[in-house]
């Protein structure tokens, strides 16, 4: 009897927390379809804010900037991080443990300190040399520096799972390092590299603080646009653009879940 109550309580708790987790997102989505500007009441369904959205050039260029930033930084970070992860794996018998601090540093450093130290540094370099003007380039550099550790750790842990004999086999076959990379390492790591790319992409799209401090006047991304729109005074267009971003995240989550399920179904022995 007591046990049953306990179970019912847990179940209720699950639904309460779900409500808590989804309420703020649901409000944003709901009011993006509101026909008036108020937040207290829902006056009627309308797509007005979505039409305004795509007529707004600032928003369209913010979408473009966000995507450019995420794609370019993720490609470069995947390459740099994968090479680093491979190096960490190959030379793990050397005493390179201290290197791990460079990997952990970006992970534990508060975002705000991260963004501001890069901002001050880029500003000084720009004043001294004229290079690295705040803009998309500095943002890409900043994003790569926090994406590298995630990629490196992902690739490193995947390599640890491989049979070490495989590496000896490539040596026994007199493969040159390039052949070994091309015919063995890259194909084996394919899945890890793809997930590293998408992880980097998500990290980049999700980031606000570091982008905000390394951005220039012409490199406004979507989160920065939303931020300044909130600061200036709330407009319903923010609800609409936020709803599109929420929709993108949920679509991506659904796709990745479907892929995982399919993989499990086709390969039930691997749990």
Partner 1 sequence: MSSLLAKRKSASGPGHWGQTTHLLGTIAPGILWIVFFLVLPSFYLMSIAFMSNGPYGLPELPLTLQSFRELAGFGFLGWSPGNLYTLARSVWQTLIATVLVILIAYPLAYYISTQPASRRPLMLLIVVVPSWTNQVIRAFGWMNIMSPDAPLSDLAASAGLISSEMGLFPSNFAVVLGLVYNFLPFMVLPLYASFERLDGEIVQAAHDLYARPINVFRHSILPQTLPGLMAGTVLVSIPAFGMYVIPELLGGGKSMMVGNLVASQFAEASNWPLGAAAALIMILATLGGLMVLRRLGQRLGGGKEVVL
Instruction: Name which of residues 159 to 178 contact partner 1 (CB under 8 A).
Output: 168, 171-172, 174, 177
Q: Which is nearer to partner 1, 57 or 95 (CB)?
A: 95
72 binds partner 1 (CB under 8 A): no
Query: What's the rounded Cα separation, in Å, for the pair 31 and 218?
Result: 29
> Residue 88, Cβ neighbours under 10 Å: how many?
19
Candidate ranges 52-60, 67-75, 187-195, 234-242; the one touching partner 1 (CB under 8 A): 234-242
Query: What's the rounded Cα separation, in Å, for the pair 82 and 188?
Result: 12
Q: Which is nearer to partner 1, 12 or 55 (CB)?
A: 12
- The residues in 120-139 that bind partner 1, with binding defined as CB under 8 A, are 120-122, 124
Please check whether residue 175 is in contact with residue 148, taking contact to mean a CB–CB distance below 8 angstroms: no
- The residues in 25-64 that bind partner 1, with binding defined as CB under 8 A, are 25, 27-28, 31, 38-40
Residue 271 tokens, joined: 């749990």
Candidate ranges 50-58, 67-75, 188-196, 239-247; the one touching partner 1 (CB under 8 A): 239-247
- Count Cβ atoms within 10 A of the Cβ of residue 74 and give its class: 0-12 exposed, 13-18 middle, 19 or more buried: buried
Residue 62 tokens, joined: 């913010």
Least Cβ distance, residue 187 to partner 1 (angstroms): 18
Locus of tokens 């267009």: 237
Please check whether residue 134 is in contact with residue 224, taking contact to mean a CB–CB distance below 8 angstroms: no
Least Cβ distance, residue 57 to partner 1 (angstroms): 21
246 binds partner 1 (CB under 8 A): yes
Least Cβ distance, residue 254 to partner 1 (angstroms): 9
With CB under 8 A as the contact rule, the residue among 119, 139, 154, 240 that binds partner 1 is: 119
Candidate ranges 48-56, 67-75, 118-126, 191-199; the one touching partner 1 (CB under 8 A): 118-126
Q: Collapse the DSSP code of 43 into the 3-class scheme (helix H, G, I; strand E, B; otherwise coil) and give the result.
A: coil
105 binds partner 1 (CB under 8 A): yes
Please check whether residue 128 is in contact with residue 57, taking contact to mean a CB–CB distance below 8 angstroms: no
Rg (the chain; Cα; Å): 23
84 binds partner 1 (CB under 8 A): yes
């Amino acid at each position: 009897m007591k046990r049953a109550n306990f179970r019912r309580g847990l179940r209720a708790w699950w639904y309460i927390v779900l409500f808590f987790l989804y309420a703020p997102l649901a409000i944003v989505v709901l009011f993006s379809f509101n026909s008036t500007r108020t937040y207290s009441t829902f006056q009627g369904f309308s797509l007005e804010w979505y039409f305004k959205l795509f007529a707004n050039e600032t928003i369209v260029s913010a979408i473009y900037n966000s995507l450019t930033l995420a794609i370019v930084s993720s490609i470069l970070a995947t390459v740099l991080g994968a090479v680093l992860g491979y190096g960490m794996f190959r030379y793990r018998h050397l005493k390179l443990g201290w290197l791990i601090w460079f990997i952990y540093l970006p992970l534990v450093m508060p975002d705000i300190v991260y963004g501001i130290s890069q901002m001050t540094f880029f500003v000084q370099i720009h004043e001294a040399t004229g290079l690295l003007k705040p803009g998309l380039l500095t943002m890409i550099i900043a994003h790569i520096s926090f994406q590298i550790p995630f990629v490196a750790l992902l690739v490193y842990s995947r390599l640890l799972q491989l049979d070490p004999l495989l590496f000896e086999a490539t040596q026994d076959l007199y493969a040159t390092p390039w052949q070994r990379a091309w015919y063995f390492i890259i194909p084996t790591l394919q899945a890890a590299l793809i997930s590293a790319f998408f992880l980097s992409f998500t990290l980049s799209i999700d980031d606000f603080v570091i982008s905000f401090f390394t951005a220039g006047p012409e490199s406004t991304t979507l989160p920065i646009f939303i931020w300044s729109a909130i600061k200036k005074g709330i407009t319903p267009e923010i609800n609409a653009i936020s709803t599109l971003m929420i929709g993108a995240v949920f679509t991506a989550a659904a796709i990745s879940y479907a892929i995982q399920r399919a993989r499990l179904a086709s390969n039930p022995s691997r749990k």
